[in-house]
């Protein structure tokens, strides 16, 4: 239901905006993530692809200390697949990682990136307003600095970043990764996928939360009706 409505909205919005002129830069930006919205759920296929991007690109600078390899099973990977992924990763002491290891920290020379520290990404989608959408815009928001803006040395201009100057070099290049499902790995696609992955990482209980929540709310709506009816019935006897 929802994605359909989302697309309708999007279409109307685009038409309204002068035939799409204002948003006409050609990127496949998903304006709506499946994880967004009142009844959103994790798009597991996108998050699996996003994990590949994270592992191949982001993990060379960032940590995600709250995640264990076993957690990836929640994205629909089998234990064997996850064990295979872990075995290909070296932990701090050089041994291959196991299911119960957390994602390792990359070694970054002190003072790299002009002193800026790449933040831990496990909760980044919860730490920034508009979560996944912000990350998506950040990863695709690099642009030449406009006239009048002097960039600090080794900083990059980014339209999504508050203040505009970011120490993270543009991380994504087209076809950095090869998707198993055959999707073409454009920068926009990778950005969207890794954003959905990070949205899941910050809120791994999203699906359960919305599932339980819908049932609880429906149940309580009926219980409210019954409670009010019984209260009125009981009080009627007093008058």
Partner 1 sequence: MNTDVKPSWMASRMPCLGGWWAGLTTPSMAREAPYLAVLPWLITAGLVFLTASGLVLAVYYNPADAFASRQFIAREVNNGWLIEGFHATGTTLVFAAAYLLLLRGMLARSYRAPGELVWLLDIVAFALLLLVGWLGFALTGGAAGYWSVMNATNAAMLLPGALGALGTWFFGGPDGPGTLARLLVLHIALALVIFFILWLRHGAKKAATPLPAPALRVAFHPYYTAQYFVALVVSALIGCVLLFFYPHFGQSPLNNVPGGPLALATGAGVPWYLAPLAGLSALFHGTYGGILGLAAGLVLLLALPWLDRSGPGRRAGGLWRLLTWVLALDVLGLGWAACGAAGGLSGLLVVVFGAWYFLHFLVLTPIVTALEAQ
List residues near ligand HEC by CB under 6 A: 53, 57-58, 60-62, 113, 116, 118-119, 124, 128, 135, 138-139, 166-169, 171-172, 194
What is the rounded distance in angstroms from the CA atom of residue 51 to the CA atom of residue 198? 8
Cβ closer to partner 1: 44 or 65? 65
Residues 6 or more apart in contact with residue 230 via CB below 8 angstroms: none
Picked from ligand HEC, partner 1, none, the partner binding residue 78 (CB below 5 to 8 A depending on kind) is none
What is the rounded distance in angstroms from the CA atom of residue 210 to the CA atom of residue 215? 9
Cβ closer to ligand HEC: 51 or 69? 51
Q: Is 33 exposed, middle or buried (0-12, 13-18, 19+ CB in 10 A)?
A: buried
DSSP structure class, residue 177 = S
Per-residue x/- track, 29-48, partner 1 (CB under 8 A): ---------x----------
Residue 223 has which token pair?
A: 């219980």
What is the rounded distance in angstroms from the CA atom of residue 221 to the CA atom of residue 215? 10
Cβ closer to ligand HEC: 6 or 170? 170
Place of tokens 């994205």: 75
Site residues for partner 1, window 49-78 (CB under 8 A)? 66, 71
For residue 110, state whether it binds partner 1 (rule: CB under 8 A).
no
For residue 112, state whether it binds partner 1 (rule: CB under 8 A).
no
What is the rounded distance in angstroms from the CA atom of residue 172 to the CA atom of residue 191? 8
Cβ 140 to ligand HEC shortest distance, Å = 11
Cβ closer to partner 1: 38 or 147? 38
What is the rounded distance in angstroms from the CA atom of residue 171 to the CA atom of residue 165? 15
Q: Which residues bind partner 1 (CB under 8 A)?
A: 38, 66, 71, 117, 120, 122-123, 126-129, 202, 204-205, 208-210, 212-214, 216-217, 220-221, 223-224, 227-228, 230-231, 234-235, 238
């Amino acid at each position: 239901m929802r994605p359909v409505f989302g697309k309708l909205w999007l279409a109307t919005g685009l038409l309204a905006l002068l035939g799409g002129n204002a948003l006409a830069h050609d990127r496949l930006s998903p304006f709506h993530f499946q994880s967004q919205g009142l009844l959103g759920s994790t798009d597991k296929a996108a998050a699996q692809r996003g994990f590949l991007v994270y592992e191949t690109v982001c993990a060379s600078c960032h940590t995600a200390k709250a995640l264990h390899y076993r957690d990836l099973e929640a994205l629909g990977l089998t234990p064997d697949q996850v064990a295979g992924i872990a075995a290909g990763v070296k932990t701090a002491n050089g041994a291959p990682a196991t299911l119960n290891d957390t994602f390792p920290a990359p070694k970054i020379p002190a003072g790299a990136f002009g002193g800026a520290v790449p933040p831990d990404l496990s909760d980044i989608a919860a730490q920034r307003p508009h979560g996944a959408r912000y990350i998506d815009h950040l990863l695709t928001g690099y642009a030449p600095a406009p006239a009048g803006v002097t960039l600090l040395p080794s900083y990059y201009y980014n339209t999504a970043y508050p203040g505009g100057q970011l120490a993270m070099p543009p991380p994504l290049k087209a076809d950095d990764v090869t998707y198993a499902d055959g999707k073409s790995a454009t920068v926009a696609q990778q950005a969207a996928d890794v954003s959905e992955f990070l949205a899941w990482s910050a809120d791994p209980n999203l699906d359960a939360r919305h599932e339980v929540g819908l049932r609880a709310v429906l149940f309580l709506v009926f219980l409210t009706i019954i409670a009010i009816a019984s209260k009125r019935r009981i009080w009627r006897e007093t008058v």
